[in-house]
Structure formats: C-alpha cells, structure tokens
C-alpha cells in the first residue's frame, strides 16, 4: 500500500524527522555538524519556514518547523541533498546517506507544541548520551536558556507560551523540562496518532482533514515544477543534476518517473519534459519504456 500524501497547512507546526539510511551515522566529526548547520542557516534564512527547535543526533535529526505558504518538500530536498553530497565527498563514500522520505507530523499547536519541543530537546538524554539536556551541544535547548543564539532559530514564540518576559519564560521552561512525559505521549510525538501524519484532538483533526480534502478536490493540476520538486525530494537529488549531459543510469530512471507523472496528471507532455532536462524525446521515451518494463 502506497504512502499517504503529505498534508500541508500553512502556518502549521511539524515534527520533522530525517534519518540516516539503514540508521547509519550522518555525523562523524564536528566538521560534519558545522556543515549541516551552515546549510540549515541558509535554508531558514532563504525559505519562509521557521525553525522553532532542533536536535542533531548522530544518525538522525529532529526539527520543529512552522511551515510557510509552500510545502516543506523543496527546503528539505535542498537541505538533505546538499549535505549528502558534501558528506560523501568529505568521507569518500557513495550511495544514499538518508532514508528517501523524511517524516513530517503535523501537530496541534495548543496541545502539543510545548510537548514537541521538550521531546526534541530530551532526545540525547533518552539515548543516554548525556545526563542533562544542557550538556548536549547540538540542540536548541541552550538557546532556550539564553546560553546560545542562532539567527535562524525562532525561540521567542515557544518561550512566550511559558511566560510574559524572557526571564519568567525561561524559569517556567526549565521546570517544564524537568517533568518526564509518559511513554504513551512520547510514542505519539514520535509516530503521530491514528493517522501517522497528524497529532491532535479529534475536532482539530477533522478540521485539518476537511481542509486537506477540499484543497485536493479543487481540480487544480500540479505544475511540472511541483512534480519535479516532489520526485527529486523523494530521491534526494537536485534538479540541476538531471540536466547534466552525462550522469548515472539512476538519473534516467528519475527523469522517466517525472515524465510519467507529468503525463498522467496533464502537467506536461513528454516533449516538454525532454526539453526541461535537455534530452531528446526519443531518449526519454526509451527510459519510460524501460521504467515500465521493470515495474510490471
């Protein structure tokens, strides 16, 4: 059974999880974390999404992201593909660094946002990497305690939920962090509710699903760019790589997948897709034929 399509809610808060492929480490030395954070800085300055909390573990990352108007896929595709390329070059390796699909759980702000931030910041403690969250270098917890600052981190909003002044909020936040949530609550924050894309109260869930259904029933056709962005995100590759004169056989497979989706939805013809990637129509047709034969 195929995965359900992501639900996009502009202004919504998402628990985003990106794991190393087969749980392999994605950070091997401090320089890796530095490179990752330089890319994170670029993403959250250039894109309209807001990062409210983060934790970079050794083989996966957690983020609390407030989505802007555009879906998260483009920003996440850029972040994961750019980092994977640099990591592979630095460590002289090949192949996928990340799992092909990041997780994004839309959480109800009133009920779960504070819980989500605590869940993210306590990850190193639960993993027994440190005794206290403040001892872990690669999370936004120190920023919430005013011991660190990042221009690309938005911590003021969550802290405002704890108190009217920064001093009051920090004290209440520290007390909140000292409480250990139940295992059932941890599982919800990690896996979502009955619908693993969402976490919230029943009435909120119904409202979100209704909005999503109404949006999907408007009859709007996805653009060729929408399809390219989604497919490139799924394969963790940049669009520019698909336009190069030469490339691995996998790139032909990805171009074929984009062409089939574009034709199925009416977003573009095969000739339009061929021109987009600097390919002949016959070459793309052959790739599509091969793609279909492999999936029979």
What is the structure's pLDDT at 213?
57
Mind listing the pLDDT tens digit for each residue in 28-50? 999 999 999 999 999 998 888 99
Indicate if 174 and 240 belong to the same structural domain: no
Take residue 165 and report the two structure tokens written for it.
């002044």
For residue 250, what are the contacts with CB-CB under 8 A and spacing of at least 6? 235
Residue 5 resides in a domain: no
pLDDT over threshold 50, residue 296? no
Residue 6 lies in a domain: no
pLDDT band of 15, cuts 50, 70, 90: very high
Are both 192 and 54 inside the same structural domain?
yes
What percentage of the chain reaches a pLDDT higher than 90?
48
> Is 7 contained in some domain?
no
Say yes or no: 272 and 143 in one domain. no
pLDDT of residue 1: 43
Is 28 in the same domain as 168?
yes
Higher pLDDT, 127 or 199: 127
Whether residue 125 is contained in a domain is answered as yes
Query: Which pLDDT score, from 0 to 100, does residue 187 have?
Result: 86
Q: Is residue 8 part of a domain?
A: no
Q: Which of the two residues, 278 and 210, has the higher pLDDT score?
A: 278
Containing structural domain, residue 117:
13-216
Question: How many Å apart are CA 68 and CA 143, to the nearest integer?
Answer: 23
| Terminal CA-CA length for the chain | 16
- Count how many domains the chain has: 2
What mean pLDDT do residues 110-115 have? 88
User: Residue 221: what pLDDT?
Assistant: 58
Q: Which class for 282: exposed (0-12), middle (13-18), buried (19 or more C-beta within 10 A)?
A: exposed
């Amino acid at each position: 059974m195929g995965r359900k399509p992501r639900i996009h809610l502009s202004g919504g808060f998402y628990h985003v999880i990106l794991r190393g492929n087969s749980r392999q480490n994605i950070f091997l030395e401090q320089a890796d974390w530095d490179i990752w954070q330089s890319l994170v800085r670029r993403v959250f300055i250039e894109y309209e999404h807001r990062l409210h909390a983060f934790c970079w573990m050794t083989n996966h990352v957690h983020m609390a992201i407030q989505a802007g108007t555009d879906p998260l896929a483009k920003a996440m595709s850029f972040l994961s593909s750019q980092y994977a390329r640099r990591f592979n070059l630095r460590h002289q390796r090949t192949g996928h660094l990340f799992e092909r699909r990041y997780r994004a759980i839309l959480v109800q702000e009133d009920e779960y946002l504070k819980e989500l931030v605590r869940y993210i910041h306590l990850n190193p403690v639960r993993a027994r990497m440190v005794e206290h969250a403040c001892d872990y270098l690669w999370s936004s917890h120190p920023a919430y305690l005013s011991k660190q600052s990042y221009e690309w981190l938005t911590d003021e909003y969550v802290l405002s939920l704890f108190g009217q002044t920064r001093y009051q909020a920090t004290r209440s936040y520290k007390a909140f962090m000292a409480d250990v949530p139940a295992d059932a609550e941890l599982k919800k924050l990690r896996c979502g509710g009955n619908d693993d894309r969402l976490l919230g109260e029943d009435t909120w869930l119904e409202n979100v699903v209704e909005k999503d259904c109404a949006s999907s029933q408007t009859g709007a056709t996805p653009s060729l760019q929408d399809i390219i962005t989604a497919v490139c995100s799924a394969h963790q590759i940049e669009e520019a790589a698909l336009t190069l004169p030469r490339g691995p056989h996998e790139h032909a497979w990805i171009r074929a997948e984009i062409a089939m989706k574009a034709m199925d939805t009416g977003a573009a013809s095969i000739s339009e897709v061929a021109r987009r990637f600097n390919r002949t129509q016959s070459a793309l047709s052959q790739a599509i034929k091969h793609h279909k034969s492999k999936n029979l």
